Amino acid sequence: MQDDKLNTTIKRWAAAAEILDNPLINEAFDKLSDAYVEQWKLTQFRDTEGRDRLWQAVNCIGKVRDHFRLMVEDGKIAKAQLDDMQGLGRTR
């Protein structure tokens, strides 16, 4: 059962790493973030609601990237755990 969970985490690691390594995805994240910042710069002084929404949008992009990075880190840990478990099984 533990092996299944670790293998699933490792597969998610591979998928997340592919996404983070994809230049089109990174370009989309960067362009969206830049566009939101540019829109924020153009907001009127009293448009606090508009600036708040744009700030949230920029932060959401960062949170999505962070989520994928966390999946990669979790996968690396899962791989190490699985390797350790398999190594222990071989020595018995």
Please report, for residues 26, 57, 72, 79, the alpha-carbon distance to residue 30 in angstroms, rounded to integers and kept in the order given.
6, 12, 20, 30
What share of the chain in percent tops pLDDT 90?
A: 77
What pLDDT was estimated at residue 89? 63
Cα dihedral 76, 78, 84, 85 in deg (nearest 10): -160
Of the candidates 30, 2, 14, the residue with the CA atom closest to the CA atom of residue 74? 14
Domain extent at residue 38: 2-91
Q: Structurally, how many domains does the chain consist of? A: 1
Q: Burial of 19 by CB count in 10 Å (0-12 exposed, 13-18 middle, 19+ buried)?
A: middle
Give the pLDDT of the chain (92 residues) as one tens digit per residue. Answer: 588 888 899 999 999 999 999 999 999 999 999 999 999 999 999 999 999 999 999 999 999 999 999 999 999 999 999 888 888 765 44
